[in-house]
Structure 1
């Protein structure tokens, strides 16, 4: 069956891992404490702080303790949903202030624009929050790429290394797995997508092979029509 939708990871796939670890994470770590202090009483932030307390098992943690927990999670790159949500809020401030610009590889920009023009539905699945995903593409160095995408998925759909997450995403997209092409630089994610019936291509930008999957070094050589 022909490919009708393309689902892509961000880190190491459309965008440099270094952008996340060297730019976004330090920015969040530097600005999150004051952001939480200033906005803790607002419902959207209060809900995430409640989730921090629940996830950490510290039901009585005050805002300062929640900040300590969050900074610890940033340091260990923990994929915690409330952390991702709060990071997204902090990053939004940075993007809107012009202090941040999303990194997207030029070959990815060109391919995404071409695929959109050819009628493919484009989706994102990343461990970063949907809000953070929209900011990377909406405030990118290449301009606003958000009109190219039909939807976004994050860890609320499930972990990226579990087949069930991709089954849920396929159901949400409304296509059988074999009509969806998933792109990632992580073999365990590709394995999970494959187990869910999706087509896969691995991105190895520094070279090498992601075992069990067709592997390329650039979006420029991906041809969804060949499936």
Structure 2
């Protein structure tokens, strides 16, 4: 069945891993403590701080302790939804001030634009929050890429290495799983998507092969007509 939708990862796929680990995470770690202190009473922030307490099993944690937990999670690259949401809020300020610009590989930009023009529906699935995803593409080095996308998915749809997450996304998109191709640099994510019935393409920008999946080094050589 021909491909109708493309679901892409961000980190290591459309965008450099180094942008996330060397730019975004340090920016959040530096600015998150002051952000939490200044906005702890804002309903949206307070809701996430309470979610941190629940997930950490520390219901009585004060704001200082919650900040410590968040910094521990950042250091451990913990895929915790309240952390990702708060990071997104901090990054939003950074993008708005011009301190941050989203990195997207030129070959990915060209392919995404071409696929959109050809009528494919484009979606993003990342462990980063939907807000963070929209900031990377909305405030990218080449301008606002958000009009290219039909939707975004994060860990609220499930973890990226679990088959059920891709089943949830398939239902949300409203297509048959085999009409969707998932792009990622992580073999366990590709395996889960494949088990859910999706087509898969591995992205290995440094070369090599992602076992069990067609693997390319660049978006420029992806051939959607072969499916």
Quote the Cα distance in structure 1 between the aligned partners of 2:55 and 2:136. 27
Q: Does 1:85 align with 2:85?
A: yes
Query: How far apart are residue 164 of structure 1 and its match?
Result: 0.4
Query: How far apart are residue 47 of structure 1 and its match?
Result: 0.4
The superposition leaves residues 45-79 of structure 1 with CA deviations (integer Å, 9 ceiling, x where unpaired) of 00000000000000000111100000000000000
Aligned to 1:10: 10
SS of 2:15's equivalent?
A: coil
Quote the Cα distance in structure 1 between the aligned partners of 2:4 and 2:64. 47
Aligned to 2:68: 68
Count of aligned residue pairs for this structure pair: 227
The root-mean-square deviation of aligned C-alpha atoms, in Å, is 0.3
Q: Which runs of 5+ in 2 are unaligned?
A: none
Quote the Cα distance in structure 2 between the aligned partners of 1:224 and 1:38. 48
Aligned to 1:121: 121
Aligned to 2:162: 162
The normalised TM-score by structure 1 is 1.00
Quote the Cα distance in structure 2 between the aligned partners of 1:4 and 1:184. 18
Query: How far apart are residue 27 of structure 1 and its match?
Result: 0.1
Query: How far apart are residue 225 of structure 1 and its match?
Result: 1.9
SS of 1:133's equivalent?
A: helix
Aligned to 1:23: 23
Quote the Cα distance in structure 1 between the aligned partners of 2:182 and 2:37. 39
Aligned to 1:208: 208
Aligned to 2:101: 101
The superposition leaves residues 163-212 of structure 1 with CA deviations (integer Å, 9 ceiling, x where unpaired) of 10000000000001000000000000000000000000000000000000
Quote the Cα distance in structure 1 between the aligned partners of 2:57 and 2:20. 28
Query: How far apart are residue 224 of structure 1 and its match?
Result: 1.3
Misfit runs of 4+, over 2 Å? none
Quote the Cα distance in structure 1 between the aligned partners of 2:142 and 2:120. 20
SS of 1:124's equivalent?
A: strand
The normalised TM-score by structure 2 is 1.00
Quote the Cα distance in structure 2 between the aligned partners of 1:146 and 1:223. 23
Q: Does 1:198 align with 2:198?
A: yes
SS of 2:7's equivalent?
A: strand
What is the 5 A alignment of 1:142-157?
Answer: 142-157=142-157
Q: Which runs of 5+ in 1 are unaligned?
A: none
